[in-house]
Structure formats: C-alpha cells, structure tokens
Chains A and B, each alone.
Chain A
C-alpha cells in the first residue's frame, strides 16, 4: 500500500541503482533480504543493476539444493528478474575465478567484469546499496 503511494510521488526521477551482493546465499540472510529490495525497486522504474562480488557470486550458482538446510531455495528468483526488467547483472571475474566458477556454472546470463571495470561501473551509479 505504502509502496504504491510512494511510486506516484516520485514524478519521473530516474536514478542508477546498483545492488551489490557480497554474501553467500544461505549462511546469512543478506542475500535473501537483499533480493527482496531489488524486487521492490523494480516498481519504482529506476535504472537498476546488480553486482555480484566476493561470496556473492555463489548466489547465482546452478543446482542449489537446500533441502538438508531446512531453508527455502530462493535461487529461481534470480531467473525471474528478467520479468521485472532487471537485466543488468554484473559478476566480478576475480571473485568468480577465485571460487573455481565459470559463467557456465551460473543460472542466469551475466556480464563478467574485471575488478577495475566493476569499480568504474560502481562509480557511475547514483545509489549503491550493498548486502
């Protein structure tokens, strides 16, 4: 309800928002609650992107199985982001390689940037929110 009212008040301001994901998906709640903010942000018609660095790259790993953890596997949500017009997903090459992952291991299409390129991308943003 409040969110809907907020939307109408923004009056066409479009900022570049980048959500920076740095944590593994299940050791803490940051990834899950971070994703909730990203989904809400889609309703505000901003220029939204997501960055995955450090253990955050594990959030996008294919084949997550959380049954023995007793927690919900929320990784399919990353596949749904496209439907929210959130299509700019950046993964840091150094973080991915340090964890023995390649693009083939990820469950969505991403743009891989090296650390310096990621820093430049962050520098372009109006709002950075990191989880």
Chain B
C-alpha cells in the first residue's frame, strides 16, 4: 500500500512524532511504500539539526534522518509553518538574511501543496497529532 504520513506535533513534548516514526518504520519494514512524510504545525520542529537531547534519550531528529537515508524517504517540512518557527535551510536563510540555518539531513522544505499531493497520490493519508 502507498501511504502518506502527516506529523502535526513537535518532538518530545508530544508522542505524535514517536508514533509517526514507529508507524513509518514498521510500514517500510513490511514492504509498504511511504509516499511522503509531511511535517506541519509544530511538527516542523522535528527537523532542526540543533536538537540535542540527553544521551540516554532517543534523538528524534536523527532517527528521521537515518530512516530517510535507509529508505530514500521523502521528508517534507511546510515552508510557512517552518518560517514561523525558525526552521530554515541554507537557501531560505540566505533569502531571509539570517545568519544561520538548521534543517537536518534528509529533510526538505516545500509548500503545502506537497501535503495535498500526498493525499491525492497515497492510498491512505495517516495523521499523527492531537
């Protein structure tokens, strides 16, 4: 089955991101196709590489990056939601005149159309959040 995943909550505060990760990983291991994982609302905070949890805790951001690398997973962060919350890739930081960028490996920033497209192209769109 072709599945789209929507992550609406940030890491650590809310379990939605963990659940989305566990679901995505399990689906991939079962041989399903994940069309795209889309990060919206505070979900965009899953994509900052400046995340540094205590050593005995899981690194939610790195975990997504690794999964992306292993399965060529498309991790898309909503640009409007990201700009509100200070998530930038190199190009966007340059364009906005910021002195730094923080988008983690394996993620890309794009428009909300990518979420609608995931709904159109996937057999199921599964939302994680409140």
Contact = CB atoms under 8 A, between A and B. Distances in A.
Nearest to B40: A33
A111 interface: no
Interface in A1-39: 1-4, 6-7, 9-10, 13, 15, 17, 29-30, 33, 36-37
Interface of A: 1-4, 6-7, 9-10, 13, 15, 17, 29-30, 33, 36-37, 40-41, 43-44, 46, 126-131
Contact of A17 (B110, B112, B119, B130): B119
A44 B113 CA distance: 8
26 contacts: A3-B111, A6-B113, A6-B117, A9-B117, A13-B120, A17-B116, A17-B119, A30-B41, A30-B130, A33-B40, A33-B41, A33-B81, A36-B80, A36-B112, A37-B40, A40-B112, A40-B116, A44-B120, A46-B119, A126-B119, A127-B119, A128-B125, A128-B127, A129-B6, A129-B127, A131-B8
Given A30-B41, A33-B41, A33-B81, A129 B113 contact: no
Contacts of A4: 113
Contacts of B37: none
Contacts of B116: 6, 17, 37, 40-41, 44, 46
A123 to B, nearest CB: 15
A129 B40 CA distance: 12
Pick from B110, B111, B112 the residue with the most CB of A within 10 Å.
B112
A90 B66 CA distance: 42
Pick from B41, B80, B115, B116 the residue with the most CB of A within 10 Å.
B116
B81 A3 contact: no
A10 B81 contact: no
B62 interface: no
A71 B19 CA distance: 32
Nearest to B122: A127
A40 B41 contact: no
A29 to B, nearest CB: 6
A3 B41 contact: no
Nearest to A42: B116
B59 interface: no
